[in-house]
A = this chain, B = another copy of it.
Amino acid sequence: MSDQQLYIQNTLTRKKELFKPLVAGKVGMYVCGPTVYSDVHLGNVRTFLSFDLIYRYLLHLGYKVRYIRNITDVGHLVDDVDEGEDKISKKARLENLEPMEIVQKYTNGFHQVMRLFNMLDPDIEPTATGHIIEQMEMVERILEKGYAYEVNGSVYFDVEKYNESFEYGVLSGRKLDELMSNSRELEGQSDKRNPVDFALWKNAEQGHIMKWDSPWGIGFPGWHLECSVMSTKYLGETFDIHGGGMDLKFPHHECEIAQSTAADGVAPVKYWVHTNMLTVNGRKMSKSEGNGFTPEQLITGDHPLLEQGYSPMTVRFFMLQSHYASTLDFSNQALQAAEKGYQRLMQAFDLIEGLPVSNISDLDFETFKAKCYEVMNDDFNSPKLIAQLFEGAKYIQSVNAGNRKIDKSTKEKLLNLYRTFIFDVLGFVPNLEKGNKLLLEGLLDTIIEIRVQAKNNKDWVTSDAIRNSLNALGIVLKDSKEGTSWDLK
């Protein structure tokens, strides 16, 4: 275990607090994962990337972390067959819409995106459908304690009753009085005693496909229940860190606190961490605005708003250059700057190993290292860490140019420090494919230059030999007035 003092901005207390895990040396962390009924969007990617950074830094500090990120796979799909599910299932089951096919497709897609951006896998990725029994059990506990009521096969959480013993709105800062005066009755919610109440269990209407038998009839769990159930099942009634996008603060996380407190009598989470939004050219990213693109489009550049494609590591760098709790605006300019910045950082890293050594060093390494930890210990401030690594890059370039000095021991320590922060903590990976491409291009430029010289010297034998050799490799040279270009056959 490292002796670093880590501070986390706790959105529950609205304070930056010294991080003290409930069990020394171990951290339980739960992050709300994707709903797998559509493609993951770039805002989600930012959220998961922020927690990837947090997970990586906690691991680097030597904590044993149990990181849980759920998959919400209980959908509200309705089949359009008249006869209803039961009759149909006897015969042609294959004719039916099968929600789990959709779940599988988008779960696979989500995992692919996570791999693309080099995110570490969570330790457990529990699904809502995998915990229906546990969800029913929590509904029963809340009913027993008197903080829920059953109406027509549905069970609702009684917010007003809860608020008599505990405080509803403690996370979001909302007051129950105001919520009640602002809320209106919506159609289909008339079973509720109070519009602020929320469903723990919903009665399944005709045609609803995903449903299970329960003590209250056939139905499905309410939206907020799964996270309360799965976080406490795997991390305990109270655990260290709960994270998610800030749009989940209310009502989702507020309801999680109420459910757990009602069922078990204790607040579930010690540190709440919320990530901020991603905007595009200053506007909220959304499908209706036409400014939402998928991670794949970002990489291929295949979208009207994108001037070019950006590599996954450029995007990762771009996102980590902003603090997770700040909004981040997405623009071609910003991405292009990130592309250059990322390359500059990696080039500096590549230089370290070959730096000429002296007997003395101009760098106060211990101070430099302490600064790297200091900014990360200040609520995972990755932009400041990157700025610090750029400071170091200037020094590295100076040493490389012969203007400053480094000794052997400092060089080794600096290489290790950069390796640790660039790869382990910030989670970058060298882009091998691009490296190969650059190498290929470099070799071809060399060959073409040799051929130009040969032609200038009227050495047609060499010139033709080069053309033929490349041809055999599947590379065609094209001579024009502008010079020689090449293409793969």
Contacts and interface: CB of A to CB of B under 8 A. Distances in A.
A436 B441 CA distance: 12
A122 interface: yes
A237 interface: yes
A101 B235 CA distance: 12
A446 B122 CA distance: 48
Given A236-B94, A446-B469, A449-B469, A104 B129 contact: no
A93 B444 contact: no
A466 B446 contact: yes
A123 interface: yes
Contacts of A92: 22-23, 236
A473 B450 contact: no
A439 B442 contact: no
Interface in A54-78: 64, 66
Contact of A101 (B98, B123, B445): B123
Contacts of A143: none
Interface in A181-207: none
A108 interface: yes
Contact of A239 (B93, B234, B465): B93
A84 to B, nearest CB: 16
Interface string A118-144: 000111111101101100010000000
Interface in A446-489: 446-447, 449-450, 453, 462, 465-466, 469-470, 472-475
Interface residues of A, number: 61
Given A89-B236, A133-B212, A446-B466, A95 B440 contact: no
Nearest to A68: B100
Given A234-B100, A462-B450, A470-B446, A130 B133 contact: no
A162 to B, nearest CB: 22
Nearest to A237: B90
A267 to B, nearest CB: 15
A28 B94 contact: yes
A20 to B, nearest CB: 14
Contact of A66 (B90, B98, B436, B465): B98
Nearest to A461: B453
Contact of A462 (B90, B103, B453): B453
Given A23-B94, A235-B93, A443 B213 contact: no
A286 B98 CA distance: 39
Contacts of A252: none
Contacts of A95: 23, 26
A287 interface: no
A443 B101 contact: no
A325 B46 CA distance: 48
Contacts of A474: 439
Contact of A442 (B26, B104, B473): B473
A64 B235 CA distance: 42
A14 interface: no
Contacts of A470: 443, 446
A465 B456 CA distance: 16
A212 B137 CA distance: 10
A15 interface: no
A135 to B, nearest CB: 11
A473 B446 contact: yes
Nearest to A353: B489
B439 A440 contact: yes
Contacts of A111: 111
A150 to B, nearest CB: 19
Interface of A: 22-23, 26-28, 64, 66, 89-95, 98, 100-101, 103-104, 108, 111, 121-127, 129-130, 132-133, 137, 212-213, 234-237, 239, 436, 439-440, 442-447, 449-450, 453, 462, 465-466, 469-470, 472-475
Given A111-B111, A446-B466, 11 more contacts: A22-B92, A66-B98, A92-B236, A93-B235, A94-B235, A101-B124, A104-B121, A104-B122, A104-B124, A130-B130, A443-B470
26 contacts: A23-B94, A26-B95, A27-B94, A66-B94, A92-B236, A93-B234, A93-B235, A94-B235, A98-B234, A100-B126, A104-B123, A127-B130, A129-B130, A130-B130, A133-B133, A439-B440, A442-B469, A442-B473, A443-B475, A446-B469, A446-B470, A447-B447, A449-B465, A449-B469, A450-B465, A450-B466
